Amino acid sequence: MFSIEDFAEFLGWCAVLNIGLLVLAFVMIVFMRDFVMKMHNALLGVDKERLPAMYMEWIGRYKTMTIFFSIVPYFALKIMM
């Protein structure tokens, strides 16, 4: 069976991976903007004018979910231990 320590470690690694994906997405949008926009325009058929707002919305939601489901529970378990 898993202990609280094991679950806290699991949540910690989930947070690290999620933050890494957020950083990767940010770097790709900043430094590879044209490529990313062309790819998403071709795949999804979304206007290029709407894409930056959609990117920011996605990053904001992903960041909120990462904080809510990984980081906060990790610190809550660390406080309990």
Pairwise CA distance, residues 2 & 50, whole Å: 45
Report the pLDDT value the prediction gives residue 81, as an integer from 0 to 100: 85
The predicted model scores a pTM of 0.83
Q: List all residues 6 or more positions away from 19 whose beta carbon is below 8 Å from its beta carbon.
A: 66
| Mean pLDDT in order along the chain per 10 residues (81 residues) | 92 97 94 92 90 92 96 95 85
